[in-house]
Amino acid sequence: MMQIIDKIDKKILATLERDGRALLSTVAKEAGLSKPGAAKRIARLEKEGIIDGYLTHVSFRALELFNFRLYLKFEGAPAGFEESVAAWLKKQGCVRWFAFCQGEYDLIVRTMVKDLYEFREFEQAMQSEFGRHIGRRVFAAIINDAYHNCTHITGNEGNSSVPGKEYAGTAVKMAEADLKVLYHLFENCRQSAREIAKKAGMKPDAVLYHIRKLEREGVITRYSVKIGREKLGYSTVKAIFWLRKATLDDIGKLKKYLEMHPRVSFYGEIVGPWDIEADFDVSGNAEAHRFIGEIRARFAGIIHDFTVLGLIKEHEANFLAGRLEEAVG
């Protein structure tokens, strides 16, 4: 059932989208509420699934990791197959996100890996586990990707994550304590230092030290909120574009257009079978058709072909689990 939110709810979501670790007093002030009133509103938004989690945005270049995606088409999958795949993927230490979809592919898996060899190990393990029902698979490397603010709900414009190429530093050496803190922040960035300390077996002061260190070194770039768009009547479609005769200037103009589009939640340039991916929040098929039609008309000179995937169910996973296991030994 679609939920209804008012202006005060939107102000709360907007504040948390700008800073997922914002103090309750800050959230209350921005929304024009008392602290108990803001806490009550936040609890309701969480219970209703409109707040679907709290996100820690990480510079993967700072961690010297690469973003590889696997796209799969299933064949002859039995009942309960997707549930088995989801349970297996959540146990893999390199998986960041995956989604079941409709269209050209049935599953997209986003991994964060050290190199192609690690990705190949993951792919082979999945093939060994589910290969009899995998009919087709391709992979792509995502570069210069960015997640965008939920502008049409919060009013915030711009990116909610920093594109990887904007990180200018060198790879950061992560100590075990760094990984522990980052792992728990990645699970829920609104956890207090005391809560994280209890889970990580550390002291609260040590947790705060490592949080500030990770922020200073550029590993943590931002905190925000994950909004349950489907609870507000939206679904996600992924548009995949093949380009032709596109110069860097052409790609820059397309990227700028997508960045400014209030319904675009993700943009990524691809090294692989196609060139561009963009995710849109839409209220129905007609709206998806209109948005993509506008893009095709505006960039008809460089868009050679396209396809659209409807994301049915998205899942988050903590890719730091594998790194932490390696560090602990």
Q: What is the pTM of this model?
A: 0.91
pLDDT of residue 28: 98
Q: What is the pLDDT of residue 209?
A: 97
Q: How confident is the model at residue 137 (pLDDT cuts 50, 70, 90)?
A: very high
Identify the residue with better confidence: 325 or 209: 209
The per-residue pLDDT for 280 is 96
Q: 54 near 16, Cβ under 8 Å?
A: yes
User: Which long-range CB contacts under 8 A does 31-34 form with residues at least 24 apart?
Assistant: 32/8, 33/8
Give the domains, in start order, of the chain with CATH numbers.
66-149+229-316 (3.30.70.100)
Which residues is 139 bridged to in the sheet? 70
pLDDT at 57 over 60: yes
Per-residue model confidence (pLDDT) at position 170: 75
Dist CA 40 CA 192 (whole Å): 18
pLDDT of residue 329 exceeding 60, the answer is no
Q: Tell me, what's the pLDDT at 16?
A: 97
pLDDT grade, residue 163 (50/70/90)? low
DSSP code, position 233: T
Q: At residue 107, does pLDDT exceed 90?
A: yes
SS3 percent helix, strand, coil of the chain, rounded to 5, is 45, 30, 30
Confidence bin at 328 (pLDDT 50/70/90) = low
pLDDT averaged over every residue in the chain: 92
CA–CA gap between residue 235 and residue 266 (Å, rounded): 13
pLDDT of residue 326 exceeding 90: no
Of 245, 246, 227, give the one whose Cα is nearest residue 236.
227
The pLDDT, as a whole number, for residue 263 is 94
Q: Each residue of 66-87: pLDDT tens digit?
A: 999 999 999 999 999 999 999 9
Q: Which two tokens stand for residue 18?
A: 């700008």
Residue 323 binned pLDDT confidence (cut-offs 50, 70, 90): confident
Residue 166 has pLDDT above 70, yes or no: no
Q: Going by C-beta distance under 8 Å and a sequence separation of 6 or more, which residues neighbour residue 83?
A: none
The residue type at 280: F
Distances in Å between the Cα of 59 and the Cα atoms of 35, 133, 206, 220 are 33, 35, 22, 6
pLDDT of res. 259? 87
Q: What gap in Å lies between CA 73 and CA 63, rounded to an integer? A: 31
Confidence of residue 172 (pLDDT cuts 50, 70, 90): confident
Q: For residue 262, count CB atoms less than 10 angstroms from its CB and return exposed for 0-12, middle for 13-18, buried for 19 or more.
A: middle
